[in-house]
C-alpha cells in the first residue's frame, strides 16, 4: 500500500541546497527515548556525548563513533553541535509510512559509504514530534541535513540511491564552502547493548514489517492485558489500527469517501474515514477538528463512537502534541 502520509516529493535539485535559518530548539521538550527504527541493518549506537564526539577531529586516540544514531531529546543538541564538524543528516520516519524503512536503509548504506564525512540521525516523529515541528515536516519520510546548526532541506517522500548520493555530494560541497570538512573516523564503533524490546512489542514490530496489522494489534492488546499502563503498547495499537483502516481508503475509495463526507456531514463512517486520511496525510488539525465537530452535532451511540476514535487519534499523534492539547480543550467544550 502506498501511504498517503508519504506523498513523494521530488528531491530538491542539488544546486538549490543552501543554509536556511537556525533550527528552533524551543519546541523540543523532554520525552522518553523513542523505540528503535524499523530499518534492518547495523544496530544504532547511543547518541554522541556532551563532550566532543569520539573520533572527531582533534580527539586523538578515541574510538570512532557510530555513523548512525537514533535521535532523542537527550542527544539532539549533541548532534547539532557535531554539525560544526561534519554534516548531520536527519532521517525523519514513522511506522505508519511504508516508505520510511526503505529510505532509512538507503540513507544508512550511503552515509556509511562516505566513511565518516557524514553522520545519520534516525528520528521517529511519532516518538519525537517536536523535531518534526522544528523542521516543519509536512510528510514522511523526510531528510533534512544540519550544517553548523542550520537546517538544509534535502527531500520529502521517496528517493532512489542515485538521487540521494547526488544530494549528499552537493551537501558536502556546501559544507566545505562553509568550513565544515571534518571526519568522525569511519566505521561505527561497538556500542553498549540497548535494553531489549519487550517480546510482545517485538512481535508487533515483526507483524508490521510483514504487513499483518491484525497480528500486530493482537500483540499490542495482549501487552495491554498484561500491563494496562503500557503507554507504548496503547499508542502502537492505535497506530496499527489506523494503518489497517487506511488499507481500505486509498485511491478512488478515499476520493469517494471525501465527497460523501462533504455531502453528509453527519455520516459517522465518512467523517471518521476522512479523519484517518487527514491524520495519515499530515493534516492533523483538520482531522481532529472534524471529529470534534461531529461530536458537537450528534448524540447517542454515534457520539460515543466518535469520542473513542478521537482518543485513539490522540494516541497516534502523541499526547504532548500542541494540536492534541487544543483538540482536548475543544472536546471538553462540546461535551460539557
At 62-89, the pLDDT tens digits run 344 568 889 888 888 888 889 999 999 9
Looking at residue 249, what is its pLDDT? 75
C-alpha cell at 18: 543552501
Helix segments in the chain, DSSP class H: 76-82, 98-113, 129-134, 161-177, 199-209, 213-226, 231-246, 252-263, 268-280, 284-297, 301-317, 322-335
Whether the pLDDT of residue 60 is over 60: the answer is no
Closest CA to 146 of 175, 117, 185, 183: 175
Residue 90, strand partner residues: 121, 144
C-alpha cell at 153: 532541506
pLDDT band at 166 (very low <50, low <70, confident <90, very high): confident
At 259-279, the pLDDT tens digits run 999 999 999 999 999 999 998
For the chain, what are the domain ranges? 14-177, 199-335
pLDDT band at 185 (very low <50, low <70, confident <90, very high): low
The segment with the largest mean pLDDT, out of 4-8, 245-249, 284-288, is 284-288
Cβ distance 139 to 283 under 8 Å? no
pLDDT band at 290 (very low <50, low <70, confident <90, very high): very high
At 10-43, the pLDDT tens digits run 333 333 444 433 334 333 433 333 334 443 333 3
pTM higher than the cut 0.75: no
pLDDT band at 251 (very low <50, low <70, confident <90, very high): low
Looking at residue 52, what is its pLDDT? 34
Rounded Cα distance between 209 and 88, Å, is 27
Is residue 9 classed as helix, strand or coil in its secondary structure? Answer: strand
Q: Please provide the average confidence, as pLDDT, over all residues in the chain.
A: 77
Domain 14-177 has CATH 3.40.30.10: yes
Amino acid at each position: 500500500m502506498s501511504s498517503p502520509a508519504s506523498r513523494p516529493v521530488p528531491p530538491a535539485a542539488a544546486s538549490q541546497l543552501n543554509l536556511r535559518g537556525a533550527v528552533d530548539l524551543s519546541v523540543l521538550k523532554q520525552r522518553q527515548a523513542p523505540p528503535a527504527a524499523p530499518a534492518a541493518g547495523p544496530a544504532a549506537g547511543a547518541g554522541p556525548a556532551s563532550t566532543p564526539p569520539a573520533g572527531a577531529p582533534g580527539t586523538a586516540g578515541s574510538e570512532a563513533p557510530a555513523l548512525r544514531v537514533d535521535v532523542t531529546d537527550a542527544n539532539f543538541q549533541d548532534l547539532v553541535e557535531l554539525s560544526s564538524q561534519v554534516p548531520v543528516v536527519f532521517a525523519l520516519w514513522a511506522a505508519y509510512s511504508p516508505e520510511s524503512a526503505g529510505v532509512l536503509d538507503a540513507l544508512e548504506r550511503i552515509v556509511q559509504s562516505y566513511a565518516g564525512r557524514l553522520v545519520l540521525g534516525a528520528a521517529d516523529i511519532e516518538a519525537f514530534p517536536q523535531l518534526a515541528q522544528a523542521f516543519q515536516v509536512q510528510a514522511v519520510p523526510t531528510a533534512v541535513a544540519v550544517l553548523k546548526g542550520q537546517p538544509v532541506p534535502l527531500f520529502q517522500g521517496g528517493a532512489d540511491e542515485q538521487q540521494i548520493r547526488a544530494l549528499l555530494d552537493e551537501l558536502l560541497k556546501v559544507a566545505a564552502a562553509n568550513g565544515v570538512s571534518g571526519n568522525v573516523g569511519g566505521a561505527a564503533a561497538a556500542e553498549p547493548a540497548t535494553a531489549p524490546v519487550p517480546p510482545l512489542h517485538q512481535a508487533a514490530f515483526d507483524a508490521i514489517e510483514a504487513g499483518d496489522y491484525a497480528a500486530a494489534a493482537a500483540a499490542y492488546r495482549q501487552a495491554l492485558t498484561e500491563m494496562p499502563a503500557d503507554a507504548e503498547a496503547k499508542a502502537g495499537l492505535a497506530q496499527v489500527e489506523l494503518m489497517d483502516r487506511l488499507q481500505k481508503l486509498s485511491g478512488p475509495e478515499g476520493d469517494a469517501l471525501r465527497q460523501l463526507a462533504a455531502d453528509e456531514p453527519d455520516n459517522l463512517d465518512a467523517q471518521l474515514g476522512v479523519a484517518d486520511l487527514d491524520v495519515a496525510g499530515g493534516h492533523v488539525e483538520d482531522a481532529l477538528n472534524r471529529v470534534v465537530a461531529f461530536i458537537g452535532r450528534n448524540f447517542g451511540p454515534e457520539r460515543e463512537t466518535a469520542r473513542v476514535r478521537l482518543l485513539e487519534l490522540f494516541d497516534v499523534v502523541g499526547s504532548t502534541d500542541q494540536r492534541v492539547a487544543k483538540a482536548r480543550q475543544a472536546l471538553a467544550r462540546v461535551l460539557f
